[in-house]
A and B are shown apart, each in its own frame.
Chain A
């Protein structure tokens, strides 16, 4: 399906949470892959399961209440879900790194920048103290932090939001990972700083040949940085395609709605096209297609049966009866 050799392959991943009100399936039979040097945008609104899926790949979903109930996750051909705890710990931070929305939450406020980044180098690469300082300075320079020697000795509160995000990226890149998972990496940043950080991720990806999984609700960011797009709704993949296929020719009504919302589409001065209603509660999933109560294209079958993913064109799986022409 992808041109380059796959770095990450996910097949049929399902994650459930046991709660007082019952079992919730947060990720349902999710499959996709990312090739070397490729960026895949994982798109969906809050509650769509995109962050849970990312956490599950690294087995970071806490059990209980969460549980990976099915699926396979391979990194460079190696199965991750069956690894022992010490083995998966070596994968985290070393081969797969993650950056989050809020750098203040991910950085320890009582450690200097050097100590934060150095920790990764000490743990995974076993560098000496002197080597660590040199490497930290080098990494800070790589992510474009000015005066890296001084910054290395500072604490997170001394840094601006953009600088913190750069430090977190430097930390993520410390071991030259094969896969970078960026979960809403710029949502907390201003647009001009967001542009800097996206540019940075882009150029580092090219330099280091990483695969990038970009999780975001911002379709503008996806349009500017991703090669392929996976759209999720209520835990399921509803559509996948290359970035041009998704933006030029969205097939799932939900994808179309998201695109219209992102472009603020509608007649000038007239009303915007809107997606009516709200994302259903996981405890009150509608019967049939989970999008049908909000869908403009709904046919009787949507209310009764759950559509499966089927290719509407080569490499274009869509989960919709209408798009599949199965009317």
Chain B
């Protein structure tokens, strides 16, 4: 591993290792409620560790408030992590000065959920996509315009879009522009934060197919943040399930398709509606009680214990480690025991789905 003091040595050196590593990343937001009130913190991220291989897709799933978007923002250094480190191609970028960050950003780009909010409405498509090229001094004038046209072509938009403005485009076309803009730097990593959830159903598949094609063509690795678990099963190589700022399960997607081992993953996957009335009728559905607890005061012991249908005494007292079980990582005291998670807990919170 290269020393953390050589952040500029981001090049071919670590080609075979992971393109991106996140080590024990913590982000706490302090909240002050009054002059003499004791300072409290929102535990947005609590010790997240993961790595991303070249041209790999790692999905990060979880409900709102689980920290998945904070993770994306900390990786991009749009937020300063409280502790922990982010390594891009082996080089620690966690403490790199803002100005030194710009050349590094070439390697890592982000595509946001809402293409209506992420594109400046006053800029033409040519300037939106050409801006990163201008900032990095890669091309100017007609060369830049030619490059932008090429990028638009790559994402399935013709050169006729060059002089249009975002309001003239549909949601799907805007997201293509956002992707073209990310591609302008030929990044190795793109963080996709819910890239299709604001789009119409019939358009989502178009954008997903585009992302997959680009991955193949340019060997781009994705961190794919999503709450759509059926999409995640389709697009990703590995899945990280997050709950209240922590990873609770990290596994290969094909293993996840067979079964999940953490009770929260189980509840999350079982709550996802399936577009198949027969499967819906026979599937085991777990309805969790209550909402996600406040990240200001995460529950003691296992953070999921307040909603877990299989809770035992140890869960409220002892913090479970993220430990390897059968080729995956799971943060649960009982995972890996035969017959866990059980099909029917004693509390009877598991219900058979009722069609119609």
- Residues of A participating in the B interface, judged by any CB pair closer than 8 Å: 39, 45-46, 146, 160-163, 190-196, 198-199, 202, 217-227, 243-244, 247-248, 257-264, 266, 268, 271-276, 278-279, 294
Contacts and interface: CB of A to CB of B under 8 A. Distances in A.
Contacts of B275: 219-220, 222-223, 247, 259, 262-263
Given A192-B268, A224-B355, A272 B208 contact: yes
B274 interface: yes
A258 B273 contact: no
Contact of B276 (A227, A247, A273, A278): A247
A274 B271 contact: no
B271 A195 contact: yes
A181 B212 CA distance: 39
Contacts of B276: 223, 247, 263
A294 B202 CA distance: 10
Given A225-B356, A271-B212, A220 B205 contact: no
A46 B171 CA distance: 11
A165 to B, nearest CB: 11
A276 B206 contact: yes
B230 interface: yes
A157 to B, nearest CB: 15
A296 B230 CA distance: 25
B272 A261 contact: no
A191 B227 contact: yes
B258 to A, nearest CB: 14
A198 B353 CA distance: 11
B356 A261 contact: no
Interface in B214-263: 227, 229-231, 233-235
Interface residues of B, number: 46
Contacts of B82: none
A261 B204 contact: yes
B209 interface: yes
Contact of A194 (B270, B271, B290): B271
Contacts of A276: 206
A223 B234 contact: no
A224 B273 contact: yes
B322 interface: no
Interface of B: 63-64, 170, 172-173, 200-206, 208-209, 212-213, 227, 229-231, 233-235, 267-268, 270-278, 280, 285, 287-288, 290-292, 351, 353-356
A278 B203 contact: yes
Nearest to A198: B273
17 contacts: A45-B200, A160-B291, A163-B291, A191-B229, A192-B268, A219-B275, A220-B272, A224-B273, A224-B277, A227-B356, A243-B277, A248-B277, A263-B230, A264-B208, A271-B212, A276-B206, A278-B170
A218 B43 CA distance: 32
A109 B280 CA distance: 37
A37 B322 CA distance: 47
A141 B276 CA distance: 32
Contacts of A294: 202
Contacts of A272: 205, 208-209, 234
A203 to B, nearest CB: 9
A194 B228 CA distance: 13
Nearest to B209: A271
A45 B274 contact: no
B287 A195 contact: yes
B280 A223 contact: yes
B277 A278 contact: no
Given A45-B202, A195-B288, A248-B277, 14 more contacts: A194-B271, A195-B270, A220-B273, A223-B274, A223-B276, A224-B274, A224-B353, A244-B278, A247-B277, A258-B201, A268-B234, A272-B208, A274-B202, A275-B203
Nearest to A228: B356
A171 B212 CA distance: 45
Nearest to B294: A160
B294 to A, nearest CB: 10
A275 B205 CA distance: 8
B202 A199 contact: no
A297 B16 CA distance: 46
A46 B272 CA distance: 22
A241 to B, nearest CB: 12
Contacts of A225: 356
Contacts of B287: 192, 195-196, 199
Given A46-B200, A190-B292, A273 B277 contact: no
A218 B197 CA distance: 11
Contacts of A195: 270-271, 285, 287-288
A261 B231 contact: no
Nearest to B62: A190
Contacts of A222: 275
